[in-house]
Chain A
Amino acid sequence: MRLTSLLPDGEPNCLVLKVRQMLIMLDCGLGQEQLYAMPVREGGLTEDHKDNNSNTTTTGSTADNSTAGSKRKFAETDIRQDWASFLKASSIQFPTKKMARGSNSQPSHSSKITSSTTGTTSSGSTSTADGTIPIAHNNIPSKFMSTREYMFKLPDFSGVDLKAIDVVLISNYNHILALPYLTEYTDFQGRIFATEPTIEFGRQLMIEFVTFFGTSVTSSPHEIIDRKELMARAGAGLYPAYTHADIKACIDKIQPVRFREHISLFGSLKLTAHSAGYCLGSSNWLIQIGTENIAYVSSSSTQGNLHPDLFDGTLMENASTVVATDLCPRGSFTYNTGVNLVCQSIASTIARKGNVLIPCTISGFLFDLLEDVHLHLNRMGLIGQVQYSFISPVADTALQYSNILAEWMAPRKQEMVYIPEAPLLHGILLEKEKGIAKHYKSVHGAFSSDLKLPCIVFGGHPSLRSGPMVNLLHMWGNKPTNTIVFIEPRMDVVAAMEPYENLAIAQQAVQLDIRLSIDQLVEVMNKYRHPRHILVPMRAIASTLADGTVELADAKRTTSTSSTRWSAYKVGESVQLGMGSLYESVLLSEELAKGILPQAFGNVSFAPIAGSLSIYNNQMQLKPASVQGRQLLSLYTQRLLLGVMNLPHLLAGLTAIGVTNIEVSESEGKEEKETGVPEIKIDFELQGQTATIILREKETIVKCDENIRSLLREPILKCFQSF
Chain B
Amino acid sequence: MTIQIVPLGAGQDVGRSCILVTIGGKNIMLDCGMHMGFNDERRFPDFSYISKTGDFTEMLDCVIISHFHLDHCGALPFFTEMCGYDGNIYMTHPTKAICPILLEDYRKITVDKKGERNFFTSQDIKNCMKKVIAVNLHQTIMVDDDLEICAYYAGHVLGAAMFYIRVGEESLVYTGDYNMTPDRHLGSAWIDKVKPDVLITESTYATTIRDSKRSRERDFLKKVHDCVAGGGNVIIPVFALGRAQELCILIETYWDRMDLKVPIYFSAGLTEKANHFYRLFINWTNEKIKSTFVHRNMFDFKHIRAWDRAYIDNPGPMVVFATPGMLHSGTSLELFKKWAPDPKNMVIMPGFCVAGTVGSRVLAGEKHIKTDSFTTIEVNLQVKNLSFSAHADAKGIMQLIRQCDAKNVVLVHGEKSSMGFLKSRIMTEFGIPCFDPANGTTVSIETSHVIPIEMSASLLKQHLIRQTETQDPGMTTSSSPEHSSSDDSSEQPDVKTPVDIRPSDKVLIQGMLVMDDGKPIRLEDADEVLEKVGMVNHKVRFEVRKAYNATALRRAVENAELNESQQGISAMDTDADESQIGDSYQEWDSDRFALNLVHVALERSIGKQIKVVREKEDDSIAIRSVKIRAPTDKDEFERGGLLVGWDYRDEDLATRVLSIVTLALSANR
Contacts and interface: CB of A to CB of B under 8 A. Distances in A.
A628 B479 contact: yes
Contact of A261 (B140, B448, B535, B662): B140
B281 A704 contact: no
B510 interface: yes
Interface string B83-98: 0000000000100110
Contact of B512 (A401, A403, A634, A723): A723
Contacts of B453: 585-588, 622
Contact of B283 (A405, A582, A584, A612): A405
A618 B169 CA distance: 15
Main secondary structure of the interface of B (DSSP, over half): mixed
A629 B544 contact: no
A645 B540 CA distance: 10
B455 A639 contact: no
B389 to A, nearest CB: 23
A388 B449 CA distance: 62
Contacts of A291: 454, 520
A260 B538 contact: no
Interface residues of B, number: 93
Question: How many A residues are at the interface, by size bracket?
Answer: 35 or more
A583 B138 contact: no
B541 interface: yes
Given A405-B283, A407-B283, A420-B273, A589 B511 contact: no
A614 B455 contact: no
B543 interface: yes
A635 B610 contact: yes
Nearest to B608: A632
B95 to A, nearest CB: 11
Contacts of A612: 506-509
B569 interface: no
A629 B478 CA distance: 7
A606 B140 contact: no
B615 interface: no
A713 B652 CA distance: 13
Interface stretch (A31-39, A216-224, A693-701): A693-701
Contact of A418 (B97, B514, B517): B97
B451 to A, nearest CB: 4
B533 A601 contact: yes
Interface stretch (A320-328, A502-510, A590-598): A590-598
A709 B505 contact: no
Contacts of A587: 169, 450-453
Interface stretch (B181-189, B217-225, B324-332, B456-464): B456-464
Contacts of A84: none
B489 to A, nearest CB: 14
A643 interface: yes
Nearest to A408: B136
Given A601-B533, A639-B649, A720-B538, A621 B466 contact: no
Interface in A638-664: 638-645
A700 B540 contact: yes
A716 interface: yes
B639 to A, nearest CB: 9
A101 to B, nearest CB: 39
A258 interface: yes
B97 A615 contact: no
B451 A593 contact: yes
B512 A608 contact: yes
Contacts of B648: 639, 641
B294 A584 contact: no
A103 to B, nearest CB: 45
B556 interface: no
B481 A583 contact: no
A605 to B, nearest CB: 4
Given A584-B457, A588-B451, A644 B97 contact: no
A134 interface: no
A262 B171 CA distance: 15
B162 to A, nearest CB: 15
Contacts of B537: 640-642
Main secondary structure of the interface of A (DSSP, over half): mixed
A638 B654 CA distance: 11
A610 interface: yes
A623 B523 CA distance: 14
A615 B505 contact: yes
Given A420-B280, A636-B510, A699-B541, A605 B650 contact: no
A681 B537 CA distance: 21
B541 A420 contact: no
B460 A642 contact: no
A99 to B, nearest CB: 43
Interface in A665-723: 698-706, 709, 713, 716, 720, 723
Nearest to A703: B543
B505 A632 contact: no
A427 to B, nearest CB: 9
Contacts of A262: 140, 150
A57 interface: no
B496 interface: no
Most chain B beta-carbon neighbours within 10 Å: one of A257, A603, A607: A607
B505 A609 contact: no
A596 B510 CA distance: 12
A704 B294 contact: no
A203 to B, nearest CB: 11
Most chain A beta-carbon neighbours within 10 Å: one of B538, B543, B545: B538
Contacts of A601: 533, 535
Given A584-B460, A615-B505, A260 B139 contact: yes
Contacts of B485: 631
B403 to A, nearest CB: 15
Nearest to A690: B639
A338 to B, nearest CB: 30
A258 B141 CA distance: 12
A279 B347 CA distance: 49
A603 B140 CA distance: 34
Given A612-B507, A701-B543, A642 B651 contact: no
B550 interface: no
Contacts of A196: 283
A706 B543 contact: no
B273 A609 contact: no
A106 B653 CA distance: 78
Contacts of B516: 603-605
A723 B526 contact: yes
A645 B539 CA distance: 10
B196 to A, nearest CB: 14
A266 interface: no
B545 A706 contact: yes
B438 interface: no
Interface string B275-298: 011011111000000000110000
B644 interface: yes
Given A414-B93, A590-B450, A643-B538, A258 B506 contact: no
A626 interface: yes
Contacts of B443: none
Contacts of A604: 514-516, 533
Contacts of A588: 450-453, 521
Contacts of A701: 540-543
A610 B509 contact: yes
A417 interface: yes
Contact of A702 (B527, B542, B652): B542
A616 B653 contact: no
Given A593-B449, A640-B526, A704-B542, 13 more contacts: A407-B93, A408-B136, A418-B96, A581-B457, A584-B454, A585-B455, A586-B453, A588-B452, A604-B514, A609-B509, A609-B512, A642-B537, A645-B538
Top 6 A-B pairs, shortest CB-CB distance: A582-B457, A628-B481, A583-B454, A261-B138, A587-B450, A637-B652
Interface of B: 93, 96-97, 100, 129, 134, 136-141, 150, 169, 273, 276-277, 279-283, 293-294, 448-458, 460, 463, 466, 475, 478-482, 485, 505-517, 520-523, 526-527, 529-530, 533, 535-547, 606, 609-610, 644, 648-653, 656, 658, 662
